[in-house]
Amino acid sequence: MARSFEDLVAEADSAPVEGWDFSWLAGRATEQRPSWGYQRLMGERMARATAALDVQTGGGEVLAGVPALPPLVVATESWPPNVAKATRLLHPLGAVVVADEDEPPLPFADEAFDLVVSRHPVTVWWEEIARVLRPGGTYLSQQVGPASVFELVEHFLGPQPEEIRRRRHPDDARHAARAAGLDVVDLRAESLRTEFMDIGAVVYFLRKVIWMVPGFTVDRYEDRLRTLHDRIGREGPFVARTTRFLIEARKPA
């Protein structure tokens, strides 16, 4: 028997959303992964580094999955629940977690790191990345691309103007990296399939990824949630396109 709208929404609205672990969505949503394998690439570069920085680490889950960390590893995070979670996860591995407001300047000296990484940063302060990198150092990042999951965004917010749909374009990242004095050595982008199997998955996703529908609450968007719940019941999983890009840049030696 299909679960009711009220039951699905209440469950998702009460689920904890700290950290960057999406295991709650197992069996309820799927997201195709980029072909390049970010964590593997990050692990390869960590194995060669002596001092590394993970910017906007979330709950530290991605960094904790690296097989071998360099002698010095620092992670920054701004959201207090994530700072606490990352601290519990990363301190036993020898990584230091720094609470940072994600505003420049980064709280580190010039040329402090030979590797800076970041998975899905909200904002990239390219001048700061260049400043804290040593000559010859590398910045590696997987980022959310333009109009990602906008089928879902526009269901709640309506059609978005082109200037918003184009935000986070990989070409803009390339130009910004170069303007900061970095050489872009790799830039790849992919459009990937995402499916939401029930309305609870949608509620959980929008509570966790808060910039998709700013100010999202169940009460505020109950009518749109009910409409989507009915659509999933008639047509099956709600399908959206996720966009991702990988950028790797180096500071000239």
DSSP string, 128-153: HHHHHEEEEEEEEEEEE-TTTTHHHH
Q: E strands of the chain, at which residues?
A: 29-31, 51-54, 72-77, 96-99, 113-119, 133-144, 183-196, 238-250
Exposure of 10 in the CB half-sphere (CA atoms within 13 A) = 5
Low-confidence ranges of the chain (pLDDT < 70): none
DSSP state, residue 201: H
> What pLDDT was estimated at residue 150?
97
d(CA 64, CA 67): 8
Domains of the chain (ranges plus CATH)?
A: 5-250 (3.40.50.150)
d(CA 169, CA 167): 5
Exposure of 173 in the CB half-sphere (CA atoms within 13 A) = 31
Q: Report if pTM > 0.85.
A: yes
> What pLDDT was estimated at residue 21?
84
> What pLDDT was estimated at residue 220?
97
Give the pLDDT confidence of 180-217 residue by residue, as tens digits: 999 999 999 999 999 999 999 999 999 999 989 999 99
> What pLDDT was estimated at residue 20?
77
> What pLDDT was estimated at residue 202?
98
> What pLDDT was estimated at residue 241?
97
> What pLDDT was estimated at residue 1?
72
